[in-house]
């Protein structure tokens, strides 16, 4: 049991270290890009593989629902990882590296935003999607880990969580945290960093509206 406690403490310490070293300026840049897309009526596409596909679906839900406000336009946001029939048809007929780019071909317009989520930064289907997006004048953003991979040099901007190769749990957990922070800041239209006296916390988390019977 003592050995397990040490392992857990090391994981918490690793996560804390990542938080302290993370580039907050990159968060502010991405917030501005997403606000601009919202205000201009552009569509935001998000995709990933495996655990990152789940992160993409979760984030699309939050951006689409939790950021709605009467005085602002809604966010047009879509997960490219969710349409199983279309995704598998593309994988079967054109190859798995085409499952996201093949969908983007039908929708993407100049001014839209593509967000790719990948711990390694090397997924061929995400690389293909970014290539297609750039050819259409779409802004590309990566949520990346490890050394950033191929995508770090390919995307217009990135939220990069530098870790040892293979640290999927840490990277995917941090990506989820970043998605909540970005959503919260956009919902409140706040900068990523605020004066503590004004905000009460350096990272204001969204206070969800909970029904009285919950």
Helix axes 168-188, 2-21, angle to 10 degrees: 50
Q: Which CATH architecture has domain 22-191?
A: 3-Layer(aba) Sandwich (3.40)
Task: Tell me if the pTM is above 0.95.
Answer: no
Would you say residue 49 has pLDDT above 80? yes
Query: How sure is the predictor about 202, in pLDDT bands with cuts at 50, 70 and 90?
Result: very low
**Strand ranges for the chain from DSSP E:** 43-48, 76-79, 113-118, 139-146, 157-162
pLDDT value at residue 204: 40
pLDDT value at residue 74: 93
pLDDT value at residue 175: 96
Q: Which residues are paired to 78 by β-bridges? A: 45
pLDDT value at residue 5: 61
pLDDT value at residue 210: 39
| Summary mean pLDDT of the chain | 87
Which residues fall within 8 angstroms of residue 130, CB to CB, at 6 or more apart?
Answer: 114, 116, 140, 142, 151, 154, 155
pLDDT tens, 147-190?
Answer: 999 999 999 999 999 888 988 888 999 999 999 999 999 998 85
Query: How sure is the predictor about 32, in pLDDT bands with cuts at 50, 70 and 90?
Result: very high
Q: Are 158 and 26 in contact (CB under 8 A)?
A: yes
Q: Are 154 and 130 in contact (CB under 8 A)?
A: yes
Would you say residue 16 has pLDDT above 60? yes
What percent of the chain has pLDDT above 90? 69
Dihedral over alpha carbons 87, 170, 29, 40 (to 10 degrees): 30
Which residues fall within 8 angstroms of residue 28, CB to CB, at 6 or more apart?
Answer: 191, 192, 193
User: Nearest-5° angle of CA 37, CA 39, CA 45?
Assistant: 25
First to last CA, the chain: 36
More confident: 133 or 211: 133
Dihedral over alpha carbons 67, 69, 71, 73 (to 10 degrees): 50
Element (H, E) at 202: none
pLDDT tens, 73-106?
Answer: 999 999 999 999 999 999 999 999 999 999 999 9
Element (H, E) at 161: strand 157-162
What percent of the chain has pLDDT above 70? 86
């Amino acid at each position: 049991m003592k050995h397990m406690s040490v392992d857990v403490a090391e994981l918490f310490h690793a996560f804390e270290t990542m938080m302290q070293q993370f580039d907050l300026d990159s968060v502010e840049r991405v917030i501005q890009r997403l606000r601009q897309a919202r205000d201009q009526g552009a569509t935001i596409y998000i995709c990933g593989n495996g655990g990152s596909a789940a992160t993409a679906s979760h984030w699309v839900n939050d951006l689409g629902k939790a950021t709605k406000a009467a005085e602002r336009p809604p966010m047009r946001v879509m997960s490219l990882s969710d349409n199983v029939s279309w995704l598998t048809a593309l994988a079967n007929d054109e190859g798995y590296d085409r499952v996201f780019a093949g969908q983007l071909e039908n929708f993407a317009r100049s001014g839209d935003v593509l967000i790719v989520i990948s711990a390694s930064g090397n997924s061929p289907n995400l690389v293909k999607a970014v290539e297609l997006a750039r050819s259409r004048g779409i802004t590309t953003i990566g949520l990346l880990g490890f050394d950033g991979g191929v995508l770090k040099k390919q995307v217009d901007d990135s939220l990069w969580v530098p870790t040892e190769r293979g640290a999927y749990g840490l990277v995917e957990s941090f990506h989820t945290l970043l998605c909540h922070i970005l959503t919260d800041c956009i919902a409140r239209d706040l900068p990523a960093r605020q004066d503590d006296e004004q905000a009460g916390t350096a990272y204001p988390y969204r206070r969800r509206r909970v029904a009285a019977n919950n």
